[in-house]
Amino acid sequence: MAITYLKKAIKTPQTGTDETRKIVSDMLVKIEAGGEEAALAYGRDLDGYHGEAIVSEETIANAADTVSDQLKDDIKFAFDRVTKFAEAQKASIQEFETELSPGLWAGQKLIPIETAGCYVPGGRYAHVASAIMSIATAKVAGVEHIVACSAPNEKGPNPAIIYAMNMCGADTILSLGGVQGIAAMAFGLFTGKSARILVGPGNRFVAEAKRTLYGRVGIDMFAGPTEIAIIADDTADAAVVAEDLVSQAEHGTDSPAWLFTTSRQLADEVMAQMDRHINALPETARNAATTAWQDYGEVVLCDTHDEVVQVSDEYAAEHLEVHTGRNQWYSDTLKNYGSLFVGEETTVSYGDKCSGTNHILPTKGAAHYTGGLSVHKYMKIVTTQRMTREANREVGQAAARISRLEGMEGHARAADVRLRKYFPGENLG
């Protein structure tokens, strides 16, 4: 296997350092003990916000007046596609009941989670799309109560985020971000309804808060900095590839961007263009992308397409684009990724904002074992069974024998008592 790193990362993204864990743990302890006032105090100290936690109907109405008609149309455009895709996901799994043997029926039921907590980042960027991805999907799943939160600044919550949250169906909106927002949803502060699942992207403190609370509540996934990988060959447009790498690097200084290619010429062209594309960004994004590409960017040259697949599947990128003359082959062969974007005509940016698939996806190799946020994350797939007395004749005897083989006499006796009751006088022990 001939693999050459034309550019190799010099750092590894860190989301759960000891310092981060201690800060988050201390905050969660203090907020649980201090309740709503403690959460508000962190909001004042960290965000400079001195208002109420629950966003009022008046604030929601004012937000709607602030948002332009064009942006409202764009939010609706994204909402419609995310909703349609979530509805298709929901339809892909069905409730059923089947007779496994005479008189023994087993079934599957889909039960929506009662309360979901949706975190929407509101710091450097106004992540309107994250509100759509998490809340609209929860609504399709049938979640009874959706709590959403986002970090305000000193003036209050971002109007576009509030508008999107409300339009997508959030029942309660909290003007809290960071660990305090996650804690408020998990502990049921301000609403009296503890979230059964916490979803949504965030910085390392948000990710660590979700990790710490996992088990007490469910979470969508353990998330780290966003990632992009692009598979490209000599048919790819270097300018398009470079722009797409930059589009994810602008997320933050620790956002990896990887290129896997069979073409040395393409690799050289892309690397030569990166600085130009990065320098064309506004200052905040430019600074983030510069550091991200310098510290975490990689360009991997492979001899064959099979080697490209091996490398890509090992990285298990959050977002994976394919720009080759063999797109269908790659689509059929690749196994590990959060979301796949096939062909130059689509891009991660479309999926991030409005094309319909969810942008809350696994990072840091988690795509080896899980997919992204879906309607199914908000639903419990539970099983049921029922049976006739006659069916106990066969099942009861088998269960008793297996139980005694395992040394679990109590289990065996639960079967025996039924066999004696339903079939008196018969020797079924």
Q: What is the pLDDT of residues 34-49, one digit of tens each?
A: 999 999 999 999 999 9
Say what the pLDDT of residue 91 is: 97
**CA dist list (Å): 270 to 42, 196, 297:** 44, 45, 12
Burial 50-79 (b: 16+ CB within 10 A, else e): ebebebeeebbeebeeebeeeeeebbeebb
> In this predicted structure, what is the pLDDT of residue 15?
56
Torsion of CA 96, 100, 103, 109, to 10 degrees: -20
Q: Which of 318, 321, 323, 359 is the catalytic position?
A: 318
Predicted local distance difference test score (pLDDT) of residue 1: 61
Question: Measured between alpha carbons, how far is 334 from 330 in angstroms, rounded to an integer?
Answer: 6
Burial string for 213-252 (b: 16+ CB within 10 Å, else e) reads beeebbbbbbbbbbbbbbbbbeebebebbbbbbbbbbbbb
Q: Looking at the chain, which residues constitute the CATH 3.40.50.1980 domain(s)?
A: 18-220+376-380, 225-371
Task: Say which of 127, 251, 277, 319 is annotated catalytic.
Answer: 319
pLDDT of residue 223: 81
Active site residue 32: no
Q: What is the pLDDT of residue 270?
A: 99
Print pLDDT tens along the chain (429 aa): 689 999 999 988 765 688 999 999 999 999 999 999 999 999 999 999 999 999 999 999 999 999 999 999 999 999 999 999 999 999 999 999 999 999 999 999 999 999 999 999 987 677 899 999 999 999 999 999 999 999 999 988 999 999 999 999 999 999 999 999 999 999 999 999 999 999 999 988 999 999 999 999 999 998 889 999 999 999 999 999 999 999 999 999 999 999 999 999 999 999 999 999 999 999 999 999 999 999 999 999 999 999 999 999 999 999 999 999 999 999 999 999 999 999 999 999 999 999 999 999 999 999 999 999 999 999 999 999 999 999 999 999 999 999 999 999 999 999 999 999 999 999 886
Q: Hey, what CATH topology would domain 225-371 get?
A: Rossmann fold (3.40.50)
- Catalytic residue at 409? no
C-alpha 144/C-alpha 308 separation (Å) is 45
pLDDT confidence of residue 122? 86
Predicted local confidence at residue 373, as pLDDT: 97
Q: How far is CA 404 from CA 166, 397, 422, in A?
A: 57, 11, 21
CATH class for domain 18-220+376-380?
alpha beta
pTM: 0.94
